[in-house]
Amino acid sequence: MVAPHREGGQAQFIPAAVTALNPGGLATTLQWALEHLDEPLDAATLAAHAGLSPRTLARRFTEELGQPPGRWLTGQRIARARELLETTALSVEEVAGRVGFGGAATLRVHLRRAATTTLPPTGARSPPPRAP
């Protein structure tokens, strides 16, 4: 089997579906959150939708997804923003609004953080370039 490929070095986007993580788990709330990314969502809102206390929701997120609700939500917003930027002609400002980041500047900050690799400490010198 050959992996999907796009011309021009672009990554292939494959949307991730929310699957039932465990019976009675968070799948319904996760799907609902994905459908409401443009709204102001936080742990309290997700907890209310799930019928749980915020503490119980946080514990369930960690058990089922291995991360807290806020990190998951930010990750989903970033993933959706990337999809929209790659597959539509929407402006960065429009994409930011559709995924709940409010504005282009906030979206850019989150995209930059998501794409950041380990860099040398500030003020550190880079090694000299190698001779050919």
Q: What is the pLDDT of residues 84-132, one digit of tens each?
A: 999 999 999 999 999 999 899 999 999 998 887 555 555 555 555 666 6
With respect to residue 1, please indicate whether it lies within any of the assigned structural domains: no
Confidence of residue 9 (pLDDT cuts 50, 70, 90): very low
With respect to residue 38, please indicate whether it lies within any of the assigned structural domains: yes
Looking at residue 53, what is its pLDDT?
A: 95
Whole-angstrom distance, CA of residue 107 vs CA of residue 78: 8
Residue 101 domain boundaries: 24-115
The CATH number of the domain holding residue 95 is 1.10.10.60
- Judge contact between 57 and 51, C-beta under 8 A: no
Q: Which residues of 33-61 are buried (b: 16+ CB within 10 A; e: fewer)?
A: bbeebeeebebebbbebbebebeebbebb
With respect to residue 18, please indicate whether it lies within any of the assigned structural domains: no
With respect to residue 4, please indicate whether it lies within any of the assigned structural domains: no
Total structural domains within the chain: 1
Angle at 38 between CA 35 and CA 40, to 5 degrees: 110
Looking at residue 118, what is its pLDDT?
A: 52
Average pLDDT (10-23) is 46
Looking at residue 2, what is its pLDDT?
A: 44
